[in-house]
Amino acid sequence: MTATVLRFGGYQEPESVHNRAAAHFGKLLEEKLGDRVAFELIGSVLKLGHRSGDLVPMVERGDLSFCYMSTVRFSKETPALQLLELPFVVKDRAIAFKALDGAFGERARRDIDAKTACRVIGFWDNGFRHLTNRVRPIRTPADCLGIRIRTQMSELHGEFFRALGFEPLAIDIKEFTEQVGGERIQAQDNPLTNIYHFGVHRYHRFITLTGHFWGASAFVCNAAHYRGWPRDVQAAVDAAAKDATAYQRQLAAAEDAEILAKLDPAKNEVIRLTDEERAAFIKAVEPVLAAQRITLEPRLLACLESLHH
């Protein structure tokens, strides 16, 4: 019997929490299904010449069976996910996961399933994002003035950074990792796991723990592949995805402290904001948040308020 080939694509290093969870997912499938499946993890399509933005189209075409990708990639198909692109909204991972595992997440799943060739099988922890830069310590919005910052491919993120005085540049992670050592990218934001594993800390001395965004990653598979698998394979995928999602979230929550412990104080200045300093950042971006509140439908506005608490 020919084994079903299951290819999982990512864009990070092997040590990342995403790729460790992906490997765990594959191990569970192999344990459950044996030689009926052949699992292949392509940890970084960047190293094959692709952009991270190619991952979802690769899944939709069937070149890959699975991938993880920031929910920012799906916010056009699922405007509700733009809640996770608003600054200083998520203060607690547990509250965010309660929403993603409940009605809010189910709505996002339905939209993605209906409007793409993907099937959502989990929401992963994409971390609290922090600022790094090569120019100067950032403690106030005034310190951001005139600094060029790489951002995700999100108009809302661009609005947030402009409100702080940055000059935002939306750049794919492939181009970012290739250019982070140059002068074009003076600053960027990422979770600590990416700051360390992408080597950003080697070029950006200053790391400010703003936690201005918390992001989720959608764990998706090719919908046609899924429909074509036997029922027991579908069940094995669902069970392994649930287990791998819990594992990934556990890894992500623990890694922030682990990364901070690895940073060399002689090479990196880690800036922890006081409550007053953090409040100044929140005040500076309040117009962005206020404008979005006006356009939110009541159910999403209620979800936004729940994420705040």
The CATH number of residue 70's host domain is 3.40.190.170
Q: Cβ distance 234 to 250 under 8 Å?
A: no
- Could you count the other beta carbons within 10 Å of the beta carbon of residue 62? 13
Residue 301, pLDDT score: 65
pLDDT averaged over 10-residue windows placed end to end, the chain, 309 residues: 89 92 98 94 93 94 97 89 88 91 94 97 97 98 97 90 96 89 94 93 98 95 96 96 98 93 97 97 93 75 70
Q: Please indicate, yes or no, if residue 121 is contained in any of the structural domains.
A: yes
Q: Which helix (H) or strand (E) holds 7?
A: strand 4-9
In eight-state DSSP terms, residue 180 is: T
Q: Please indicate, yes or no, if residue 141 is contained in any of the structural domains.
A: yes
Residue 306, pLDDT score: 74
Q: Cβ distance 123 to 245 under 8 Å?
A: yes
Instruction: Please enumerate in sequence order all residues whose Cβ is within 8 A of that of 126, keeping only pairs 6 or more positions apart, or say none.
Output: 70, 71, 191, 214, 215, 216, 217, 252
Query: Residue 309: CA atoms inside 13 Å, Cβ hemisphere, count?
Result: 5
Q: Please indicate, yes or no, if residue 109 is contained in any of the structural domains.
A: yes
Phi, psi at 148, each rounded to 5°: -75, 125
Q: What is the pTM of this model?
A: 0.90
Residue 308, pLDDT score: 66
Q: Cβ distance 39 to 6 under 8 Å?
A: yes
Q: Please indicate, yes or no, if residue 213 is contained in any of the structural domains.
A: yes
Domain with 130 in it:
4-304
Q: Please indicate, yes or no, if residue 309 is contained in any of the structural domains.
A: no
Task: Tally the domains of the chain.
Answer: 1
Phi, psi at 220, each rounded to 5°: -125, 160
Residue 243, pLDDT score: 98
Q: Please indicate, yes or no, if residue 257 is contained in any of the structural domains.
A: yes
Would you call 40 helix, strand, or coil by DSSP?
strand
Residue 166, pLDDT score: 97
